[in-house]
Amino acid sequence: MRDQPAADETCPPLPNDLRPFLVRWAGFADMAAPPFTHRMPATTFLPLIINFADPYLIHAGHKPDTQAAHHTFTAGLIDRFTVVRSLGPVHCVQVDFTPAGARAFFRVPLTEITGHVVSLGDLLGQDGRDIVERLALCGGWPERFRILEQFLRRRILPGPTQSAAVLAAVREIETSGGKARISGLARQLDISRAHLTRRFSAEVGIGPKAYARIVRFENALRHLQDGSDTVAAIAHETGFADQAHLTREFGRMAGTTPVRL
């Protein structure tokens, strides 16, 4: 959530049994932080922010007039960037779920939160409000992450799992860097493209084609950050039609151009 390191930041190793479900978890605290604005690019993980300080002001990059304040919340997948504004002090825990982890943890079809920022209390009810209160009362990060680990394990491990077809499709899309053709995936899995799209959307939140676009963007972003190739070479290597195509996708998913980034 930040564009610079927090004054107090911790990122413990993930427990082995939760690794298939979480990308990362971390705690941030900086009570002297000035207000800041951060563009969050499109991504294939679903963040959960458990917040103990002032709310964040959030809006989708293509809808600047829809800004709203959010305290403890999650965000569904979207193939656009999001603008996050902090009012100052930062004190929160962030858990980044894989789609499989979010499906198990929230226990709802992920299409219900696609493109939305949703309160944890609205999704989990009293269970969500209770965990925020328990974590807020903790004496420090070790205790906070012990309680959080127990809570995540209690909800995730018995939760609904992704179907074998969707798991295989996600794996193939990610392995190919977003270049996999959806029709080819459907043939490989011996199901219709329409059926794969319906199942994928319910279990991931967006269709396989949109997911592949984000994976391709993330792959290009990693190459760009390495700084070892020109933008045109990166576009060719990561499966874009040309540099102009890559630039358009960066405008949509990062809110800027590859050169400026």
Q: How far apart are CA 46 and CA 28, in angstroms?
A: 18
Residue 186 has pLDDT above 70, yes or no: yes
pLDDT tens sequence across 93-104: 999 999 999 999
Average pLDDT, rounded, for the chain: 92
Torsion sign (Cα): 9, 64, 257, 76: positive
pLDDT tens-place string over residues 117-139: 999 999 999 999 999 999 999 98
Cα-Cα end-to-end distance for the chain: 17
Structure tokens at 228: 């070892």
Model confidence band, residue 68 (pLDDT cutoffs 50, 70, 90): confident
What integer is the mean pLDDT of 20-30?
96
Contacts 24+ apart (CB under 8 A), 183-190: 189/165
Can you give the pLDDT at residue 59?
82
Q: State pLDDT tens for residues 143-160.
A: 999 999 999 999 999 999
Give me the pLDDT at residue 251, please. Answer: 95
Q: What is the pLDDT of residue 226?
A: 86
Any bridge partners for residue 58, and if so which? 68, 84
Per-residue pLDDT at 20: 95
Q: For 38-67, what is the mean pLDDT?
A: 87
Confidence of residue 55 (pLDDT cuts 50, 70, 90): very high
Write down the pLDDT at residue 64.
62
Reported confidence tier of residue 4, pLDDT bands at 50, 70, 90: very low
pLDDT over 50 (residue 109):
yes
pTM of the model: 0.91
Q: What is the pLDDT of residue 2?
A: 42
Backbone angles phi, psi at 186, to 5 degrees: -60, -45
Q: Count other C-beta atoms under 10 Å from residue 180's C-beta.
A: 21
Which domains are seen in the chain, by residue range? 8-156 (2.60.120), 164-253 (1.10.10.60)
